Structure 1
């Protein structure tokens, strides 16, 4: 296996690049050859995680690197045995955020943690039950990479992850201002054995409304429900999704449909639809598709990522109907969780019955003048009066959060 060790800026750091803990060695991957050499081991380790997600899979991170990395640099840390086999991975990179205020900072972050098609549940890849032993060793990477970065920003870290306390503790030890910057709710459904059982969790008014929409769809318009790969192939299903999703953004561009993000998702769907890792429920009526939902299956969980529906049919609420069909499909497959991903829109509250949290963790290099300048300017901005600013680009950065416009559901 190709092994490329980190190249710190100073000699003192170089002396501590390789740290031995028993039979494991902390090593770094800094080039693409060494990164791709991890492929045979990557998903096998993800399978063993306590908080595994589709966003940690090799297909996601490798495609993201190919399509979305821009000026990012690899900085993965891993624990190898004497034969070079990785036992745990900290999937890290050095990159600049798109936010103009943060753009000058060179940030140590999760691989696929920034930019278009970024991951939504990111973490260190450590086998469940071994976090107390292995995660602190991986966290030594923060200190070793500190001379190369201005700050650390780890977005979408699951609060319930066994790795989280060790990561935060390490950042507090080696950086300044370490802590949780944002805490985002992820609402989800604990899936029952049948749709009828799920319906009973809701009010009679909610049940009546959804049944009325469904009668309009099936009886008045002979509507039918299907899945991508059944009556419509992958390419056509993705095309319908893009068209219907664009209807939600008549005056702007969703980051889901930019050229870069769209290439990523087309390539991902090409791999995952045949493997049934991607699920695309679709609704067809009067000879055309009126709603498509796009999400991912991992273990016994489904993650609703994106959707689109026909705006002119808002009175029939195709957005609600396609979620109903998606939940029913997940129940039929024996899945246990339907995750609506971050944000707290009203429609998510209506569908979900439980919640978990994602953390954005931040820390600053106390020796970086750019880091000091950023913190000073941020403090000043917080003291100044605020005003509302319209984004002239019209671009939505949190694409899946707004895919189903709650006001039109």
Structure 2
């Protein structure tokens, strides 16, 4: 019997499927925080107003076996409107994925076939930062090849992570001498010249007050000056405030903070899910930059992980050098772009080939000719 795909395009309807979604995720081999119904719902609340919801559920008879939490958004490519399908929350999450419960290859084939049936609604499908070790990767590659779909696959984030093994003392002795010396000097200097207060918040207190300190640090950070702070976007500010409240109620929140002379100097906004620390946001106050509070708070976080029975610290993001001083492991990700052959944006896939056989201006002219109808009135 062929699998059936059902669409959820109404947010109220998506809210109603929470019990089913939660059970599917609990039973799924790719259970991750960024597929939690609460996470998806919260993201949509703050960022979904100019987008179209397109959540797909796959059914085998009367049993739900997979889901794709998609949305459609208007994006600009070469100044033209491009209807892009993405996974909800993938712009903020450390990674994204499909919710797969059973028969992943057949379920993914049903999802891809359904998307091709409604290809008049989209130009590109972007699947960003799927974990390379996810049960999704090989089945979706085989599915795309088997259905003759035009797609591209590119490396995604190389995200450092630390498995918590052995004792803190063993781990710390195994770190390089230069790192141990640097941290020791920074701690001594901070303690000698300032009143140093270190905080690990796990719930049960005044989360609003603590988030006020987080935003104070953000306002005095290099990210604020560069326009990349969570304060730079009011929607993102409200999202993280709401996420802190939600995570505090659910026991997921971990706020790690360092204060110097009573002033917040650095913070880490973490989620603890299934004994894994997920590092979502971090920043430090530039006024204390000479003391390297960002390094001290990372030291504090890892020591906390060893002492509190954490299994893994997921630093997220890319493999920046300051993270790689604390671990030798990285988690690979894959980015997929699926092209609609009926869309003018198929030229994005053909562009490298066309570059070889003709002037780039021919490509540009052809693109503009095919895409003229896509321009806004």
Q: Which of 213-222 and 56-65 deviates more?
A: 213-222
Is 2:312 aligned against 1:337? yes
In structure 2, relative to structure 1, the CA distance for the partners of 1:94 and 1:378 (3 Å cut) is: farther
Q: What is the aligned counterpart of 2:67 among 75, 89, 94?
A: 89
2:346 alignment partner, SS class: helix
Query: What is the match of residue 184 of structure 2?
Result: 211
2:56 alignment partner, SS class: strand
* In 2, Cα distance between equivalents of 1:230 and 1:111: 27
Is 2:30 aligned against 1:51? yes
* In 2, Cα distance between equivalents of 1:288 and 1:312: 10
Give the CA deviation at 1:58.
1.3
Q: What is the aligned counterpart of 1:260 among 235, 258, 261?
A: 235
Q: What is the aligned counterpart of 1:112 among 78, 89, 105?
A: 89
Q: Which of 278-287 and 25-34 deviates more?
A: 25-34
Q: What is the aligned counterpart of 1:249 among 223, 227, 252?
A: 223
Query: What is the match of residue 397 of structure 1?
Result: none
Give the CA deviation at 1:66.
1.2
Q: Which of 47-56 and 270-279 deviates more?
A: 47-56
Give the CA deviation at 1:361.
0.4
- After superposition, residues 3-14 of structure 1 pair within 5 angstroms as none
1:251 alignment partner, SS class: helix
1:77-103: CA deviation from partner (whole Å, max 9, x where unpaired):
1123655x6332111222233x54386
Q: Could you list the runs of 5+ residues in structure 1 that have no partner in the other structure?
A: 1-19, 385-409
Across the aligned residues of Structure 1 and Structure 2, the Cα RMSD in angstroms comes to: 2.7
TM-score by length of 2: 0.85
The answer to whether the 8 A contact 1:210-1:321 is kept is yes
1:123-158: CA deviation from partner (whole Å, max 9, x where unpaired):
11113x753564444443333333321121111111
Query: What is the match of residue 192 of structure 1?
Result: 165
Give the CA deviation at 1:224.
2.0
The answer to whether the 8 A contact 2:167-2:306 is kept is yes
Query: What is the match of residue 255 of structure 2?
Result: 280
* In 1, Cα distance between equivalents of 2:201 and 2:80: 39
Is 2:345 aligned against 1:371? yes
Give the CA deviation at 1:267.
0.7
- After superposition, residues 21-170 of structure 1 pair within 5 angstroms as 21=2, 25-80=4-59, 86-97=64-75, 100-101=77-78, 104-114=81-91, 118-127=92-101, 130-132=103-105, 134-170=107-143
The answer to whether the 8 A contact 1:191-1:337 is kept is yes
In structure 2, relative to structure 1, the CA distance for the partners of 1:102 and 1:180 (3 Å cut) is: farther
1:351 alignment partner, SS class: coil
* In 1, Cα distance between equivalents of 2:97 and 2:19: 19
The answer to whether the 8 A contact 1:190-1:353 is kept is no
Q: How many residues align?
A: 356
Q: Could you list the runs of 5+ residues in structure 2 that have no partner in the other structure?
A: 361-377
* In 2, Cα distance between equivalents of 1:160 and 1:104: 34
Give the CA deviation at 1:287.
1.8
TM-score by length of 1: 0.79
